[in-house]
């Protein structure tokens, strides 16, 4: 199972809904409605038209108990809303807390920088000085991948699907 976590309203449910569609980057329909996830939400998505993956979303308000699910997760996605200047500092603390937890030391981590379509979001310089992604990817024990997305417009959702597909392939090999 793959876990997706992050503060409330960063776009976790919308991303999963987009991925449930076979071509998440070809956005034909309007933005699907999402309701704030209370507790946890399990979704099955089919990536690259062939692999079914179960993804567990943990509502942002459940931050204090995210760690209870690390044990059962073979990969973790952490989503950040790059348009919300007032929320990114807490997102940074939550990200670092997750990365330093003993049960995540060996899991691949995907950091999703979402809502890049919103004007006046964090600049690259601002996010780099807050998150220090360069240092993080060098020093953290996890294999960290960073992808900028718009779950609304579909930007880079193909890259997210590919990452999910790769993690599942690796899990099959390691459990074989």
Ligand X SMILES: Nc1nc2c(ncn2[C@@H]2O[C@H](COP(=O)(O)OP(=O)(O)O)[C@@H](O)[C@H]2O)c(=O)[nH]1
**Beta-carbon neighbour count of residue 24 at 10 Å?**
22
11 annotated among ligand-binding-site residues = yes
Closer to Mg ion at the Cβ: 13 or 156? 13
Closer to ligand X at the Cβ: 36 or 105? 36
Q: Please select the residue that binds Mg ion; options are 5, 13, 145, 160, rule is CB under 5 A.
A: 13
Closer to ligand X at the Cβ: 3 or 10? 10
**Beta-carbon neighbour count of residue 136 at 10 Å?**
18
Q: Which residues bind Mg ion (CB under 5 A)?
A: 12-13, 37
Q: Which residues bind ligand X (CB under 6 A)?
A: 8-14, 31, 34, 36-37, 60, 114-115, 117-118, 150-152
- The binding site for GTP consists of 6-13, 60, 114-117
């Amino acid at each position: 199972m793959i876990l997706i976590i992050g503060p409330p309203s960063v776009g976790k449910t919308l991303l999963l809904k987009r991925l449930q569609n076979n071509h998440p980057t070809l956005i034909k329909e309007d933005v699907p409605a999402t309701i704030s996830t209370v507790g946890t939400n399990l979704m099955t998505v089919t990536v690259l038209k062939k692999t079914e993956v179960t993804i567990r979303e943990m509502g942002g308000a459940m931050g204090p108990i995210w760690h209870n699910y690390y044990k059962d997760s073979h990969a973790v996605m952490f989503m950040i809303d790059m348009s919300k200047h007032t929320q990114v500092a807490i997102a940074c603390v939550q990200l670092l807390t997750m990365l330093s937890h003993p049960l995540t030391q060996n899991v691949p981590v995907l950091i999703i920088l979402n809502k890049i379509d919103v004007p006046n979001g964090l600049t690259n310089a601002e996010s780099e000085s807050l998150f220090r992604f360069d240092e993080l990817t060098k020093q953290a024990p996890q294999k960290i991948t960073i992808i900028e997305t718009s779950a609304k417009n579909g930007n880079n959702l193909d890259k997210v699907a590919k990452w999910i597909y790769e993690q599942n392939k690796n899990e099959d090999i390691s459990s074989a």
